């Protein structure tokens, strides 16, 4: 079967195809944000693929859910909750964005008051019925929902994870039509606010994501389609449509999956610089998974890769603020019209334009293989900004890159230092279409001496789609003393979750015997609010010792208090797909294809085609190494070695 990895970004859509014989072909096309499937079809046409081919599998990472949240788009959503709790999502945790601002500006509630519906009935903390939910109330609720004409409904009831039947009754009583999201199905865990936000986001995004996936499935009637989830595992397209909140990091998760598979046991800081944003993360063997992520102001308690995103990419627009200081991003030129150098009508100066002006992205390079660069347009755009600064275009371009690189280095510094890591002891792994142009400077700002640019770095997230396994994460909350009934509760819950996961994998055509289980438990001291996750090996004493050690590592101390179970979580993974073979250069040792002028360098620098560098070949900076999707600037004082299809850089 042919396998196609697709990553839809804000500026480019990347496609990596592995055919039946193992040969790899790639394509990079401009994204079409208003209808992302159009760019996918265009890229497939360029690769000669038939949308009706049943012998093709498509694994897709999408930004549709993320963009909808960041742009404030989504379905008109009704929230159904317990009587007296209509303001739950509005009140939240009462956390202030600015601790010392005594008069913070008012914020729009996530769900307007007129769309928050309360209904009677009450489940207690152990799952007992405190007050029954009467049929008459359900009938009245159905009429109120119908009158509001929502596109989606979010149902978030207290302690729903203990008794999901109540939410199921409510869903069954609703009028047909709206997309329905139940908290007991989205996130069967303690903490009603975080569970409620996840359920609301899932409902609000559901029609948007499902509509897109339906259009994609209609456009690709032949292939089997899988979708990357935020925790770096794939699922079938139907599951993805029902769980939109689990797709918020769908695209970036692919890059981390690829970094983990190609980096082995190497401890890496990853630096994924695309056209619109830059994602940074710490990868030690496997991507780190968190349930404490955020998107905008909202907590996202579903499992996702742990990363930090900033609005600094190749298309980030440079401008002067009210005080005359240079800033870069977060506004982006996107794919349409794109940076000025794309020649598609863009006039604002961007990071990519700055690289063109300085000669680090020479006119000999065609982005994506066929997008010729307009050097004059780039110089005019950067020159206008330079005139406002009282500087020539080259000085303005250097300023743009300095600001962008410092923003990226600061994000990486935070990711490493907050986890007790010294960046200088790690390897900087750079990917994304724009990463290679800045990898040396970013590494220098962090005191790092080692970096790598993997094979197909410009399409690395699409590579990650091909190497990510089928995976689902299941969880249930249960408060028990670990030393008492907690161990038995863990065993019981894990068995139930495993059965649920086996059924899901079997329905997707997999053999449950090949699943790998990774059980974890969240524990806390009795009386604490937050819990820590540790691996579960079957021995409660081992889990308790791991919890004490984790608490001491994070907070500097451990307590002599009883430990209680909060949540059981089970991740099930299918077999790991094979890595696409790396392109190996062959033939005689290549000479530079050209020598190009780069600002600040006295003599023209050599430009090498990446596929011409034999294994073991060393390139001393300053130099440029290019392929159809990536340009690597080997800065003065750095050396690059070709190794297994990737470039290893050392200072």
d(CA 183, CA 189): 9
* Residue 148: predicted pLDDT: 96
- pLDDT top residue among 621 and 15: 15
* Residue 240: predicted pLDDT: 94
Residue 366 has pLDDT above 70, yes or no: no
Residue 444 has pLDDT above 70, yes or no: yes
* Residue 589: predicted pLDDT: 66
Burial 119-145 (b: 16+ CB within 10 A, else e): bebbbeeeeeeeeebeeebbeebeeeb
Instruction: Summarize the chain as % helix, strand, coil (round to 5).
Output: 35, 25, 40
CA 400 remoteness from chain centre: 26
- Give the containing element (helix H, strand E) for 406: helix 393-417
d(CA 167, CA 157): 7
Residue 262: C-alpha distances to residues 113, 406, 518 (Å): 49, 27, 21
Query: Do 616 and 600 form a contact (C-beta atoms < 8 A)?
Result: no
Start-to-end CA span in the chain (Å): 43
At 368, is the pLDDT very low, low, confident or very high (cuts 50, 70, 90)? low
* Residue 400: predicted pLDDT: 95
Residue 494 has pLDDT above 60, yes or no: yes
Query: Comparing 95-109, 387-401, 457-471, 508-522, which segment has the lowest mean pLDDT?
Result: 95-109
- Give the containing element (helix H, strand E) for 578: none
**Number of other CB atoms surrounding residue 100 within 10 Å:** 5
Beta bridge partners of 131: 122
- Give the containing element (helix H, strand E) for 94: none
Residue recorded with tokens 């020649």: 343
* Residue 257: predicted pLDDT: 94
Structure token digits, residue 346: 């863009």
Residue recorded with tokens 């190609």: 262
Tell me the mean pLDDT in the region 423-432. Answer: 93
Average pLDDT, the chain: 91
Q: Please, what's the largest Cα pairwise distance for the chain?
A: 84
Three-state secondary structure call for residue 188 = coil
Tell me the mean pLDDT in the region 234-263. Answer: 93
CA nearest to 379, candidates 350, 404, 403: 350
Residue 236 lies in a domain: no
Residue 303: C-alpha distances to residues 300, 473, 478, 551 (Å): 8, 7, 18, 21
* Residue 344: predicted pLDDT: 84
- Give the containing element (helix H, strand E) for 204: helix 192-219
Query: Do 454 and 265 form a contact (C-beta atoms < 8 A)?
Result: no
Query: DSSP letter at 482?
Result: I
d(CA 622, CA 276): 27
d(CA 386, CA 379): 10
Structure token digits, residue 331: 């506004």
Residue 275 lies in a domain: no
At 593, is the pLDDT very low, low, confident or very high (cuts 50, 70, 90)? confident
Say if strands 56-61 and 2-8 run parallel, antiparallel, or are unpaired: parallel
Residue recorded with tokens 């994609």: 216
* Residue 54: predicted pLDDT: 95
CA nearest to 273, candidates 401, 139, 97: 401
Residue 160 lies in a domain: yes
Residue 367 has pLDDT above 70, yes or no: no
Query: Do 273 and 313 form a contact (C-beta atoms < 8 A)?
Result: yes
Taking CB atoms within 8 Å and a gap of at least 24, the contacts of 595-600 are: 596/359, 596/362, 596/364, 596/624, 597/359, 598/358, 598/359, 598/360, 598/622, 598/624, 599/357, 599/358, 599/359, 599/394, 599/397, 599/398, 600/358, 600/398
Residue 213 lies in a domain: no
Residue recorded with tokens 């600037």: 633
Query: Do 515 and 574 form a contact (C-beta atoms < 8 A)?
Result: yes
Residue 559 belongs to domain with CATH number: 3.30.1490
Residue 138 lies in a domain: yes
Query: Do 85 and 158 form a contact (C-beta atoms < 8 A)?
Result: yes
* Residue 512: predicted pLDDT: 94
Structure token digits, residue 495: 């068995």
Helices and strands counted in the chain (H then E):
16, 35
pTM of the model: 0.89
At 585, is the pLDDT very low, low, confident or very high (cuts 50, 70, 90)? low
Residue 45 lies in a domain: no
CA nearest to 256, candidates 7, 491, 585: 7
CA nearest to 193, candidates 298, 88, 80: 88
Task: Kindly state the percentage of the chain with pLDDT values over 90.
Answer: 71
Instruction: Report residue 73: phi and psi, to 5°.
Output: -95, 155
d(CA 18, CA 613): 23
Residue 16 lies in a domain: no
Tell me the mean pLDDT in the region 103-113. Answer: 88
**Number of other CB atoms surrounding residue 513 within 10 Å:** 7
At 296, is the pLDDT very low, low, confident or very high (cuts 50, 70, 90)? confident
- Could you say which of 161, 187, 205 is where a domain stops? 205
- Could you say which of 143, 170, 205 is where a domain stops? 205
CA nearest to 356, candidates 331, 346, 31: 346
- Could you say which of 177, 205, 233 is where a domain stops? 205
CA nearest to 381, candidates 331, 432, 333: 333
* Residue 393: predicted pLDDT: 94
Query: DSSP letter at 323?
Result: T
Residue 156 belongs to domain with CATH number: 3.40.50
* Residue 274: predicted pLDDT: 81
Say if strands 326-332 and 289-290 run parallel, antiparallel, or are unpaired: unpaired
d(CA 356, CA 371): 14
Query: Which residues are CB-contacts of 205 (< 8 A; sequence separation ≥ 6)?
Result: 65, 68, 69, 74, 75, 244, 245
- Give the containing element (helix H, strand E) for 377: helix 375-389
* Residue 587: predicted pLDDT: 56
d(CA 186, CA 474): 10
* Residue 284: predicted pLDDT: 85
**Number of other CB atoms surrounding residue 542 within 10 Å:** 13
| pLDDT digit string, tens, across residues 164-185 | 999 999 999 999 999 999 999 9
Split into its structural domains, the chain has a count of 2
d(CA 482, CA 484): 5
* Residue 369: predicted pLDDT: 56
Structure token digits, residue 590: 């290549």
Three-state secondary structure call for residue 218 = helix
> Angle at CA 117, nearest 5°, toward 113 and 118?
120
CA nearest to 645, candidates 633, 624, 630: 630
Query: Do 522 and 531 form a contact (C-beta atoms < 8 A)?
Result: yes
Query: Do 113 and 86 form a contact (C-beta atoms < 8 A)?
Result: yes
Structure token digits, residue 471: 């995976």
Residue 259: C-alpha distances to residues 63, 185, 457, 627, 647 (Å): 20, 31, 10, 19, 14
Beta bridge partners of 623: 634
Residue 404 lies in a domain: no
Containing structural domain, residue 143: 73-205
| pLDDT digit string, tens, across residues 12-66 | 899 999 998 889 999 988 888 889 999 999 999 999 999 999 999 999 999 888 8
Query: Do 302 and 291 form a contact (C-beta atoms < 8 A)?
Result: yes
């Amino acid at each position: 079967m042919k396998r196609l990895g697709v990553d839809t970004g804000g500026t480019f859509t990347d496609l990596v195809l592995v055919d039946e014989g193992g040969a790899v072909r790639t394509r990079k096309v401009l994204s079409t944000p208003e209808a992302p499937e159009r760019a996918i079809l265009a890229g497939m046409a360029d690769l000669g693929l038939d949308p009706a081919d049943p012998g093709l599998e498509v694994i897709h990472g999408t930004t549709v859910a993320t963009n909808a949240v960041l742009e404030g788009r989504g379905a008109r959503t009704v929230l159904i909750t317990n009587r007296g709790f209509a303001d739950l999502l509005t009140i939240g945790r009462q956390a202030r964005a600015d601790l010392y601002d005594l008069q913070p500006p008012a914020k729009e509630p996530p769900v307007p008051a007129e769309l928050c519906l309360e209904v009677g009935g009450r489940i207690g903390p152990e799952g007992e019925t405190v007050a029954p939910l009467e049929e008459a109330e359900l009938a009245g609720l159905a009429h109120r929902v119908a009158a509001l004409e929502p596109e989606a409904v979010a149902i978030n009831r207290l302690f729903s994870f203990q008794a999901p039947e109540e939410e199921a009754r409510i869903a069954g009583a609703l009028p047909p039509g709206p997309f329905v999201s139940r908290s007991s199905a989205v996130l069967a865990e303690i903490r009603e606010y975080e569970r409620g936000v996840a359920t609301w986001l899932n409902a609000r995004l559901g029609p948007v994501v499902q509509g897109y996936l339906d259009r994609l499935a209609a456009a690709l009637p032949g292939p089997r389609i899988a979708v990357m989830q935020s925790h770096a595992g794939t699922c079938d397209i139907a599951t993805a449509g029902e769980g939109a909140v689990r797709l918020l990091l769908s695209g970036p998760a692919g890059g981390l999956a690829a970094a983990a598979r190609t980096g082995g046991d190497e401890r890496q800081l990853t630096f994924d610089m695309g056209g619109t944003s830059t994602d940074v993360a710490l990868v030690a063997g496997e991507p780190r998974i968190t349930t404490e992520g955020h998107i905008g102001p909202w907590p996202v308690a579903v499992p996702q890769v742990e990363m930090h995103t900033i609005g600094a990419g190749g298309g980030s627009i440079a401008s002067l603020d009210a005080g005359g200081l240079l800033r870069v991003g977060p506004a982006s030129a996107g794919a349409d019209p794109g940076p000025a150098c794309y020649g598609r009508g863009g006039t604002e100066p961007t990071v990519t334009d700055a690289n063109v002006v300085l000669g680090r992205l020479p006119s000999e390079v065609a982005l994506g293989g066929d997008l010729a660069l307009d050097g004059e347009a780039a110089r005019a755009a950067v020159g206008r900004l330079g005139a406002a600064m009282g500087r020539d275009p080259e000085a303005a371009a250097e300023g743009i890159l300095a600001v962008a690189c410092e923003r990226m280095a600061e994000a990486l510094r935070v990711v490493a230092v907050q986890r007790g890591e010294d960046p200088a002891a790690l390897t900087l792994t750079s990917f994304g279409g724009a990463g290679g142009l800045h990898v040396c400077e970013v590494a220098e700002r962090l005191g790092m001496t080692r970096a790598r640019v993997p094979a197909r770095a410009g399409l690395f997230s699409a590579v990650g789609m091909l190497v990510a396994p089928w995976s689902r994460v299941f969880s249930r909350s249960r408060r028990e003393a670990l030393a008492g009934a907690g161990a038995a509760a863990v065993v019981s819950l894990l068995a139930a979750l495993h059965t649920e996961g086996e059924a899901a994998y079997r329905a997707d055509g997999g053999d449950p015997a090949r699943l790998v289980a990774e059980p974890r438990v969240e524990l806390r001291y009795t009386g604490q609010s937050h819990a820590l996750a540790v691996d579960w090996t079957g021995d409660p004493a081992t889990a308790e010792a791991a919890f004490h050690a984790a608490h001491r590592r994070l907070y500097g101390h451990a307590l002599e208090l009883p430990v209680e179970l909060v949540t059981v979580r089970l991740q099930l993974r299918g077999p790991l797909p094979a890595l696409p073979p790396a392109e190996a250069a062959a033939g005689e040792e290549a000479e530079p294809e050209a020598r190009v002028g780069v600002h600040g360098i006295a003599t023209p620098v050599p430009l090498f085609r990446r596929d011409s560098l034999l294994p073991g070949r060393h390139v001393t900076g300053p130099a440029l190494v290019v392929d159809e999707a990536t340009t690597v600037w080997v800065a003065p004082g750095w050396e690059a070695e070709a190794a297994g299809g990737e470039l290893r850089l050392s200072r």
